[in-house]
Amino acid sequence: MDDKTTEEKRDLRHAVMCSALLTAMPWAVQVVGAVFSLRLKQYGLQPLELTGLAGIFTMPLLHADWEHLVSNTPAMLLLIFGMFLFYKQGAWRILLCLYMLSGLLTWLMGRSAVHIGASGVVYALAAFHFMSGVIKKVPRQRAFALLVAFLYGGFVWAFFPTLYAGTSVSWEGHLSGLLAGIAFAFYFRDKGPEPPVDPFPDTDDEDRLNPEDD
């Protein structure tokens, strides 16, 4: 087994482990809350309230019920896995940026209510992966972006507040995640895997198709 194969397997194991660990955190919070009958929802994000700023950190860890948590789990696993697969150790910095900005934007634009759930971070990750695949010339990332678009293309409907009138769904969190993901996809566009080397860097397309004879 060559060194490249060994490194790829190590990176794959690391991505799986980090994805599972981070996704398990809201599950642990939900279990503790259920076992001890804790009212944790009150510690969510409260827009434009100084005391609600702590919700930037707690919002993604808190969920309304088990169904809410289960609905977010598959996307969290896949999108966090992709982050560590492509960006390795740099993924921690990107995740923190997405986590903080999506929460801050929700705090700034959210309606007066307690906002909970990891949906904002999920939308931030999905938008980041999709835009990174669009603006970078890395085949693996473009393939992953297409997968994200195929699996979560319906997310686009989550930005229309009229669809959630009378519900507790935080469409503001969804929109905040989208904006954060797009912004950081451009900011970190030079990070992650490098695009393949062009074998004809100084040759235009016509010359490639019609090479001159010696």
Query: For the segment 94-123, what is each residue's pLDDT rounded down to a tens digit?
Result: 999 999 999 999 999 999 999 999 999 999
**Between residues 35 and 200, which one has the greater pLDDT?**
35
Q: Which of 65-74, 150-159, 204-213 shows the lowest mean pLDDT across its residues?
A: 204-213
The DSSP string of the chain is --HHHHHHHHHHHHHHHHHHHHHHHHHHHHHHHHHTT--GGGGSB-TT-GGGGGHHHHGGG--SSHHHHHHHHHHHHHHHHHHHHHHGGGHHHHHHHHHHHHHHHHHHH--SS-B-SSHHHHHHHHHHHHHHHHHS--HHHHHHHHHHHHHHGGGGGGG-GGGGTTS---HHHHHHHHHHHHHHHHHTTTSSSPPPPPS-TT--HHHHHSPPP-
Report the number of distinct structural domains present in the chain.
Answer: 1
pLDDT score of 166 more than 80: no
pLDDT score recorded for residue 186: 97
Question: Average pLDDT, stretch 152-180?
Answer: 76
| 196 domain-assigned | no
Question: Average pLDDT, stretch 6-32?
Answer: 96
What's the mean pLDDT when you consider all of the chain?
88
What is the CATH number for 103?
1.20.1540.10
| 214 domain-assigned | no
Write out the residue range of the structural domain in which residue 47 sits. 7-191
| 101 domain-assigned | yes
pLDDT score recorded for residue 214: 43
Write the pLDDT tens digit of every residue in 190-210.
999 887 766 555 555 555 555
**Between residues 137 and 61, which one has the greater pLDDT?**
61
| 208 domain-assigned | no
pLDDT score recorded for residue 116: 94
Q: What percent of the chain has pLDDT over 90?
A: 73
| 210 domain-assigned | no
| 213 domain-assigned | no
| 207 domain-assigned | no
| 212 domain-assigned | no
